[in-house]
Chains A and B, each alone.
Chain A
Amino acid sequence: MKKSRRPFGKILMFLMIAFFYLPIIYMVVFSFNESKSLTSFTGFSLRWYEHMLESSDMMTALYTTFSVAILATLISTFVGTIAAIGLSSSRKIIRNIMEQVDNLPMMNPEIVTAIGFMLLFITFQVEKGYVTMLLAHIAFCIPYVILSVMPKIRALDPNLADAAMDLGATPWKALTKVIVPQITPGIVSGALIAFTMSVDDFIISYFVTGQGVKNLSIVVYTMSKRVNPSINAVSTLVVVIITIVLLIVNIAPLIAAKKSARSELGKRKRFVPAAAGCLAVIIVVLAVYQGGKGTGDRPFEGQTLHIYNWGEYTGENIIPDFEEETGAKVVMENFDSNEQMYIKVANGEPYDILVPSDYMIQRLIEEDYLQKLDKSKLDCMDKLSDAVKGLPYDPNNDYSVPYFWGTVGIVYDKTKVDIEDLEREGFNIFLDEKYKGDVYLYDSERDSFMMALKALGYSMNTENEDELQEAYGWLVQCVETMDTEIVTDEIIDNMAQGRKALGLIYSGDATYVMAENENMGYYMPETGTNLWSDAMVIPKNAQNPDLAHAFINFASDYDGAYDNSSYVGYTSANEEVMAVLSGEGGDYEGINAYIPRTDNENDEVFVYNEDTKKIISDLWSRVKIAASNAD
């Protein structure tokens, strides 16, 4: 009666497995996609695999993920097993207390555990990085090992060890020859859990890492808003590795079974070849990766440059080219908001170069975090556009060299939006119910308030609280009546696919959107907008200012700047690059978003003010709450 019935169960099982594997298959398929899109498959290509192999960021993340996992598994399995043996022979009260303590990381929400580790490392001033990540992983893995070893020890005859010793075994021998073999299944499954937890961990790693050390999860999280299909390629690689390991695991016992008839223990022993196979594959991959590093006689041979930049904000070749030319190694960490960058800098993490925005540079200068540039080492200032030099946040460019610049405006679908509406209403088009449900807002407190203040005819740098409250009202009306979606960089792909009619966008992203989809236009309201710039600065605690100066020159020079601008789509500060890219035959010919507007007196540059920033932060989170309640 057991077999061939249960159609319901079979259907459920089938659907469930389809559900589990759908995203994985999707990911593998799209890793071969020709275009950047995550929704339409335009053709077969291997470009994301090439990109992945070239991207030192991803290969390093892969290395970090697996090396941390392997080390954490080995150490936590060893320590956990010994602790479990020790605890099982300890007094009951100690055992009970330790059981509760072990439960802490399992019974606490992971984010709480993560914050605990973060505060621990900060309080004791342990520099966050690879070591802290490893320590945290070991710490949360051990309890799982203990949990799976403990029941096996309890099941042992307590006289076993004594018997061994009565027969002349030393305690060490009794342990290794008698007890450990008996509890091996528990140890193996503990190790397996530890490895899985470590490989998959995101939350804890995210909070305890530093110095650009990233595992795969952190890379995905920090780049998620800018579409970069290389991550699909990396994941496909991981899938392949795991499949190979599983094949080895499943074939090895068959071979072993042929050699020896004893298949009783064979089933459990599968895990040993599993671990061995896993290790072997990973070591080969890492060896290949580590092997590809050249040497030579170059000015900064063997030195390291730490850059903290926006995600997806550099060209494909500039970093390898710079490494090639100078012999230095570049470690790049990414942020997705100025505030996130600020906190790390304020916590004393040493970077050689930062790329913050205008108002943040002003704040960093005011709070004395930056060092003056050594102009004798810079040969790039003449190559940069005048419009982006000498801005109020740094009038003499004593501290900063512009990187990208642009405006904030409205990206719109010419087939859906009447240009007359835009010209008449400006930013108030975001309140026009004609476009209800067809609107993206951008998740940035500064730019959202800029939009509202400009729509109301105020300065975006106002300190007047009534005006800010009015702008808050404007934004709440917008999210409550317009059925908006508040997005970040997803807007780029989504507008390139023509999914909504309107959106608030940075000019550089609009450039990319318009290059991908000719129906898209970019409009800057006459009432003015934000003229922004991001620039390279060197913090006071930089470890290698000479190399930093070299990089600033390199990135501002024609080749570097061209690579950056043509790949990212943002307007280069290098005048010649800007002219070539927007000129005849250039990548961005005829795209108005690429050329920042410099002739409207209503346009403003952001000024940092701590009090207004706090008010705006608070109000913006309330706008978002209003938006989620409007759903």
Chain B
Amino acid sequence: MTMIFGIPIQAFLGQLLVGLINGSFYAMLSLGLAIIFGLLRVINFAHGAQYMLGAFVGFLLLSYLGIGYWPALILVPLIVGVSGMVIERLALSRLYDVDPLYGLLFTFGLALVIEGAFRYYFGVSGQIYTPPPQLSGGTNLGFMFLPNYRGWVVIASLFICLGTWLLIEKTRLGAYLRAATENPILVQAFGVNVPLLLTLTYGIGSALAGLAGIMAAPVYQVSPLMGSNLIIVVFAVVVVGGMGSILGAIITGYMLGLAEGLTKVFYPEASNIVIFVIMAIVLLVRPAGLFGRDA
């Protein structure tokens, strides 16, 4: 058997793949957080709950209405996104004038309510969501066995991140968004409906979390607690990347996922905390984050 650094290459690449998968979800989630924070100045603590919501909505669509994975990829982000917009209209929009910490606390409460409700109705045990038949099975790449669904997640998440980045950097809507991030009052004076833009932004951010959730459903088990532990890691990712740049959030997400996978190979005991350790080091060396602009 081929060995690399004294470890079978299969195990090595396997963990690297797990790292890449985790990294895909970190990237999608930190991207959503960064978009929301950029315009709303709100740290969306409910992001983890919305990710869980995405997985559960997909699971419920399948088990009660028989709606499969492919339609769910469209429906789930729509449902989670619209629910996010309702919350933004009803509650978050009232908090823009006060200290941004209140936005964090509100979304924290929201996360507790959503998770508590799902725990109450579904218990803590995980539900299985089988991947669609087109993506079941795996491919032998010669040097390793790649489950098809996992390969799909990595590729699809790359496209989603790239697509979102293009949406923000290259389209008219994205231009409005970036302008409103710089100076909302001036943009409003030019006749752009900024409150609507804010609602839409929160909707897009939530939809991204929901999309990540439905994509994660076949990889991890669908459980009410799947988001709450993830969100803390994603916060650390966001601190490392700095929320100034969208591309930075994406790159940091993949990088830290890979770092986590590598740690699992060489020193498994530390794999839970390696991202936090990296965060601490980055804070010492570059307090603003790797891609951060704000001091």
A and B together in one complex:
no
> Which residues of chain A have a CB within 8 Å of any CB of chain B?
none
